[in-house]
Structure 1
Amino acid sequence: MRPFTIEVGFFDTVLEIKEKVQKYQGIPISRQTLIFNNKVLQDEQDVAICELLQDSRVQIIISQEPEKSNLVKLEEAPPIKRIELLLQMEHSSVPMSLEVDVSDTIGKLKERIQSIESIPMNRLVLSFLGNELNNHRFIHECGLHHQSQIEVSIRPSPPTASSTASGGNAGSKKLKLLVLPKCGTKKIPVENVMDDDRSFRWHHVNQGDTIEIFNGSVTGGS
């Protein structure tokens, strides 16, 4: 490389000198090593400390540019362990075989059973050795191994609105009564009637009972 001249300030640092070399000569700072009087100049030192004077000759050593290569870090993935489970369904005497990944959850196992048997997930109950399996647990956490047998049961369907209505008014505070007026024979259906002082429950009035209405009053006595 041919000698060249650059102008520096008295308080410029060695790093600033390297920046000027990079600017005017195109040599990257990372590849520059400056030597003066057989000493390597440190980046944080300035011209005064290095005793660089007018027309001082500084040797520059240019390191080789590292070869560029595409390095890809490869990590060995943990082996995927798959096991075969035997599902004993309520409606079948022959267990159903299903291959699963031990890192799957019980919830995912239920999803696969749902896709095969068309049973809603919220009605599926999986049990192993008498213990119900939780949806959020992983298969390998449940102690399941190759050809473990799982009991699959189905919860009853929740009652519908119509079945609830047909079951009567259990739990309701309403009573349907038939009122028989004193002056006639026609029974009048009455609903939601409560005594001012006592409730129908207190008087042991039950669903479908008949009460009579009469003119007059009732006085106390023994």
Structure 2
Amino acid sequence: MDVTFETDDGRRFQEEIWFFSPVREIKEKLHKSHGFPVSHQTLFFNGMIMEDEHGFEYYNVIQGSVILLRLQRELEPAPKPEPEPEHEPINGGGRRMKVTVLVPRVAMGMKRLEVEVNLADNVSELRKELLRMKERSYSLYLPAEGFFFIYKCSVMEEDKPFWWHDVKAGDIIEIFNGSVTQG
């Protein structure tokens, strides 16, 4: 079947895939045909990260489906993480910490943005802070049609606090263009 892949920068191309192909196999095919390193690829379908061990049938991909291809490249050097305290409250208390947010650039690649958050705050506070930062600086690009956060290859629940997601100082949170839907 033919499937359309769309990259972060809006490029679209079609690939013929087998319905039962594992995601890892398709990533290898994209590497061979387009030069995208397998380790730099993350595939999304219907707001879900496609795991390497599952086949396309697992995600109900059909003829003509569009799969989002996130490519990690052109990253700026990572900041050094802050040292962790020896004893941390279980729920995070009111402790503030800095996390790195990978924000898409208008051009290809991602920009690293250091943001201070409260470990006990819900993830929705990060969205509010980024929107405030965007109002103060026109150089900050946030996807106009909406975005969600990804941490350690999982979509973050915005009504849960950072400690619930096990976020630590210096960790990286990615912004992904689109919205999350329940299937």
Alignment TM-score, normalising by the size of structure 1: 0.33
- Larger RCO (CA within 8 A; separation ≥ 6): 2
Larger radius of gyration: 1
Alignment TM-score, normalising by the size of structure 2: 0.40
Greater strand share, structure number: 2
